[in-house]
Amino acid sequence: MKFKGIYPDSKGWFEKFGGRFVPETLMAPVVELEEAYLKYRNDKEFQATLKHLLLTYVGRATPLTFAERLTEKLGGARIFLKREDLAHTGAHKINNAMGQMLLAKKMGKTRIVAETGAGQHGVATATAAALFGLECVIYMGRVDMIRQEPNVHRIQLLGAKVVPVESGTKTLKDAVSEAMRDWVSNIRNTYYLLGSALGPHPYPMMVRDFQSVIGLEAREQIMSVAGKLPDELVACVGGGSNAIGLFYPFLDTESTMTGVEAGGRNFNSGQHAARFQGGSPGILQGTQTYILQNRDGQIEDTHSISAGLDYAAVGPEHAMLKEMGRAQYTSVTDSEAMEAFHQTARLEGILPALESSHALAYAIKRAPKMHRDQILLVGLSGRGDKDLSTVREYDAR
């Protein structure tokens, strides 16, 4: 099925998902943000500045790497990796952080607040804030601070303040809530730099646009080296920014698209973060999408060995693509992701982030079922330096 249409609509809807569900106190700043983004979205000077920053500071274009040894071992499809781990700060998050930071500067904001789970968005935001000379405060759940301690230190070294979140599950969902509370209290001078393609409109659209550089580059690169488009695209899906960034420029093609969620330990409540397999439509933190909730509509606890996938909702554009049948979504377990981490390290000399390891785990199962003339393109969203303590603890069990 080819994708037809332009989304979201003027009110932020991706068919029946998305929208803008915010308290009255946040409506004015959200509308202000939308107006500013629509103004600068097609502004030649803004886009030229962003392109220059991505080229000279972020290090784009990131390479497309043929995973030769992994391909040889598995047989079947040729596996290519889109190397966002080689962007400055080690993940795709910097693409969106640079775009939004430039927008915040244009809006006259002097203070940035953000949330982070795995820490990569926090690092990217702190990096961009340092470059632009803006005050920066990062909210991070206490649980994530413990398992992502290296990134906490990196954020602090970059001059940003890390605020531990002690409420709820002390993970990403709670960090988002605290960042939004800060924004409400400091609307005049503060910009909320949301890290994934979720939240109230215009964030899902805006983050997708800034991350689409991933897919635009990948499309040109695969045509250059292989002379054809990939048969299947694969990316991990937490909030979904790296996946939608890869998928969006391919929506008008015949390429299959597969998003991989966190299957965690098992499918009991609180043991996974697979929204499409274990969730249902609902509203969380400003947007209508698939969420993990009980029969009474209360948000369920989540779990993933990967902090960046440990979230109860998914971006609304992914929800639309799922229901349209344009993309398919599956999950892999903690143990499968960990095995993919080790296999990629030993065969390709790449330590992938545990988020990316979920996509690689699916690719390792999928490639042998495909023909040798087919191409499997995997979004490698980030590098695994941040996860070494988690890997060490897991391997020691």
Q: Which residues are catalytic?
A: 93, 115, 381
Burial of residue 47 (CB within 10 Å: 0-12, 13-18, 19+) is: middle
Are 70 and 344 in contact by the 8 Å Cβ rule? The answer is yes
Instruction: Annotate 309-335 with b (16+ C-beta within 10 A) or e (fewer).
Output: bbbbbbbbbbbbbbbeebbebbbbbbe
What is the side-by-side strand order in the sheet with 287-291?
Answer: 13-14, 17-18, 287-291, 280-284
CB 314 within 8 A of CB 260: no
Asked whether the beta carbons of 374 and 76 are under 8 A apart, the reply is yes
User: 361 to each of 259, 308, 334, 393, how far by Cα in Å?
Assistant: 12, 16, 10, 20
CA 192 to mean position of chain CA atoms: 17
Contact 266, 236 (CB under 8 A): no
Checking phi first, is residue 310 left (phi over 0); if not, alpha (psi -120 to 50) or beta? beta
Q: How many CB atoms lie within 10 A of CB 177?
A: 17
Q: ∠310-314-319 over CA atoms, to 5°?
A: 150
Question: Are 290 and 311 spatial neighbours (Cβ–Cβ below 8 Å)?
Answer: no
